[in-house]
């Protein structure tokens, strides 16, 4: 079963390698989708994968890379699109 989630990560998460960290974490958990910076300073992650893969990614997103300070991870259940074959960094 494939599920999808949209995560919004708040805190000091831009300019600290967060998107690259998220991409590596998604690969580790075999999750597809994308990560991108938002104009308001948050990071958005769209993730599709198994429930256990999504849960593992969520835990990693809450930790973030060494220089990040993650204050909040918002999670929204969304419908999987199936359009992603990898996990992309969008600009």
Q: Which of 5, 6, 19, 24 is catalytic?
A: 19
Q: Which of 24, 37, 42, 91 is catalytic?
A: 37
**42 has catalytic annotation:** no
Say if CB 44 and CB 7 are below 8 A apart: yes
**Cα end-to-end span (Å), the chain:** 29
**37 has catalytic annotation:** yes
H-assigned helices in 4-89? 18-28, 51-63
Q: Is the alpha carbon torsion for 78, 31, 91, 16 positive or negative?
A: positive
**Residues identified as active-site:** 19, 37
């Amino acid at each position: 079963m494939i599920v999808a989630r949209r995560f919004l990560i708040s805190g000091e998460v831009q300019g600290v390698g967060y998107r690259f960290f998220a991409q590596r974490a998604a690969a580790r958990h075999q999750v597809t989708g994308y990560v991108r910076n938002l104009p308001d300073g948050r990071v958005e992650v769209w993730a599709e994968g198994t429930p256990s893969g999504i849960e593992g990614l969520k835990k990693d997103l809450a930790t973030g890379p060494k220089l990040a300070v993650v204050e909040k991870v918002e999670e929204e259940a969304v419908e999987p699109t199936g359009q992603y074959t990898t996990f992309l960094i969008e600009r």
